[in-house]
Structure 1
Amino acid sequence: MTILDIARARLRAVIDPILTTRHDELPPPDDGTVVPLVAYFQWRGWTVVDRDSFTTAVLSYPGSFQGALDTEDRRQAALDDNLQKLEVELVVRGSHWIAHFSSCGVLIGCDRHRSIPLVVGVHALPFAAVLGDLERQARRRRPQDIAHCLLFGACSSQDTPGQLCLIPRVAPDEPAMLHVLPDHGEGRSR
């Protein structure tokens, strides 16, 4: 794959959703390798994370969390530890290509924001529709909502990660009591 092919794939990923209303093109026919599937995902705007053979590949969707994780001005990469971009692992099982998806969300958190695994046959009829829905959901996932829930909501609770995301009411702070210490002249020169 040349730089021109990569640039063309990224340009199509930006322009196609604007010009078309559907992204339901079927994946290419099986040629026994993962190469045409990787090209198909790259055409849709995905990036290759790992590809160690002709029968497996892991790809990531950079539009996850509205693209917030892929900006150059990120300061706290360590905060990403609990976040999961939309990813897919493509593997061949017998004579069928299988896509193991991890949806966009948090690894440990509430039902509303949790990343969910999903397995779909690549050449099954609903594949293109499922892929389009996963991409759409990943693009719409608001980083502000996730951050708020991770800090103040159910995603922050390690004990009950399955509860609904209910944000507690913020109580006004009590006035602070100031304690004035008498000045005994210590540390002063006379």
Structure 2
Amino acid sequence: MQSKPARRSNEARTRETREALLIAARNCFVSKGFTATGTPELVAAAGMTRGALYHHFSDKTDLFRAVIEAEAESVAAAIRAAAPADVPVIEALLSGADAYFTAMEAPGRARLLLIEAPAVLGLSELARLDDQTGGATLREALTALRLQAPIPETAQLLSAMFDRAALAIAEGANPAPYRAALAHLLNALA
């Protein structure tokens, strides 16, 4: 007697549908950008209906926001994994910086996080997201260094340097000089 295949739960189907939409949206936004990507194209790429899209996301911007949040969380996780709390702070900063560059080398990630996201979501929403992800890791390290400079503003300036380097690397620049320059600057903070 053959057994019946296990049925997926509604929760599993919901999770799979949402994940398919996120993957398809990421691919579309990377290849064409937010503005040039329409919802019919997104649902076709996901093999879904517009009803499925609007069941999970209020609109295309909401879907884009979810893609950006997943990308930012992935970068922050890579930084945290590379910079454990039990190493000296400057070593954690250097390891975290290297992990950031490596994470930003994921195809399309620099475009999504550093070009598309500011244009679509605005700087204040990106600042909120950064406060919860990669920016938090940077502020934690700077706080541990006991800098005399204001931590939030120092973190913003360092973050801008990291982002500028990530954009250059994404455009094909050699990452070695950027890594060396940032290592020099970070060592100067100690």
TM-score, normalised by the number of residues in structure 1: 0.28
Q: Which has the higher contact order (CA 8 A, sep 6+)?
A: 2
Q: Which has the larger radius of gyration?
A: 1
TM-score, normalised by the number of residues in structure 2: 0.28
